[in-house]
Amino acid sequence: MSQRCVLVVAALLVFSQTARMQKGRTLDIYSIDVEGGQATLFVSPSGESLLVDSGNPGDRDADRIAASAKDAGVSRIDYLVITHYDGDHVGGVKDVASRLPIRTFVDHGPRMPPPGSSPLTPEAQANVDRVDRQYAEARAAGRHIEVRAGDTIPIQGLDVQVVSSKGAVITKPLAGRRTNNPLCRDFAPHPQDTSENIFSVGMMIGAFGRFRLLDLGDLTWNTEHDLVCPDNLLGVVDVYVTTHHGLARSGPPALVHAIRPRVAIVNNGPQKGNSRETWETLKRSPGLEDVWQLHFSVQRPAQPRFEENGQPGGPDLNAPESFIANLVDAPPTHAPAYALKLSVRPDGSFVVVNTRNGYSKEYKAGSR
């Protein structure tokens, strides 16, 4: 055999092996316990990483994010999306960046006062200034992208579509066809939201053309409505990361029931999120198979500032313990802390694993 033939055969073998490896790669998603904040790590089939939010400031959450990255074989963050500038989402940037280099920072642009908001107290303003300064310092070490509704984020192996940003939402359907949403008839608006939450970067994250996950950050009730009313611009999803930790000021039935999630992931804390209203909306959602939680919800009073209607949170608002990653309430720095891991295969089927107990459940590829 000639040298040229040997080289051609060798190249074909390498190509074949690479193709087989790529064909077998999964999309891995880690929903990380940051005690009622948010940090979700995506590792695409190509190996690129996307971290959505960075949890709270300090070592606790950054160490947990770094542990999930190590489990995933990730040594850097290719894209960090900061959905908005609340401390439980952006507060951990400095500490995460000290453990994992961050190449590209994605956000909705400079902080601005929400419409109708009141001036902050001096103490609150000082805290905001500190958070903004730390984020700006970390961001200066990488590339920066400001996104708007309708943009895409170029991560190899993922289809990341921005559906909300800076108070605006998409105006065209993601699937290319408008679908009237009859659930809009019963929608009751909430009071105007005057918080940073309304600027949240919301994303539809897809893979393999067969799997879709919706994460809207802390977007709130009235703006979520605009994504699905009068027409459902989102379509249906396989996985729904509950908006705003499952608090009652987010997650209207007009949205949750229209997107028909098969699986819901509640990124709650033991005494934060998973409001009774949200739980009941989820459990009535057509097509829902399971709810998975980052934390067991303990007894707590209703929180009017989150628009809970006077009914307390409590232990009756929990999935079976096999579906809950963390069962402890105190201390808040509890160790170890456990994540929920999703692995999505090229055919669109996926498995969810509770890293606390190893319990897993398989979900067939959706036909929707």
d(CA 258, CA 56) in angstroms, rounded, equals 32
pLDDT at 149: 99
Tokens for 73?
């074989």
Q: Give the residue among 163, 256, 257 at the shortest CA–CA distance from 216.
A: 163
3-class DSSP state for residue 68? Answer: helix
Q: What share of the chain is helix, strand, coil (3-state, %, to 5)?
A: 30, 25, 50
Report which secondary-structure segment, H or E, holds 85: none
The confidence score (pLDDT) of residue 55 equals 98
Domains of the chain: 25-363 (3.60.15.10)
| R_g of the chain, CA atoms, integer Å | 21
User: With contact defined as beta carbons under 8 Å apart, do 352 and 360 qualify?
Assistant: yes
Length of the chain: 368
For 31-48, give one letter per residue: b (16+ CB within 10 A) or e. Answer: bbbbbbbbbbbbbbbeeb
Under 8 Å between Cβ of 297 and 318: yes
- Give the pLDDT of residue 10: 41
Contacts of 3 (CB under 8 A, 6+ apart): none
Beta strands (DSSP E) in the chain are 27-31, 40-43, 49-52, 77-81, 102-107, 143-146, 152-153, 159-165, 168-169, 179-180, 202-207, 211-215, 231-232, 239-241, 263-266, 290-295, 324-326, 340-344, 350-354, 360-363
pLDDT string in tens for the chain (368-residue length)? 444 443 444 444 434 433 433 456 999 999 999 999 999 999 999 999 999 999 999 999 999 999 999 999 999 999 999 999 999 999 999 999 999 999 999 999 999 999 999 999 999 999 999 999 999 999 999 999 999 999 999 999 999 999 999 999 999 999 878 899 999 999 999 999 999 999 999 999 999 999 999 999 999 999 999 999 999 999 999 999 999 999 999 999 999 999 999 999 999 999 888 999 999 999 999 999 999 999 999 878 777 767 767 677 788 999 999 999 999 887 777 788 999 999 999 999 999 999 999 999 999 998 65
Q: Which two tokens stand for residue 48?
A: 């690129």
How confident is the model at residue 298, as a pLDDT?
Answer: 87
Q: Residues of 307-331 as b/e, b for ≥16 C-beta within 10 angstroms? A: bbeeeebeeebbbeeebbbbbebee
Structure confidence at residue 334 (pLDDT): 75
Residue 116 to residue 245: CA distance in whole angstroms: 24
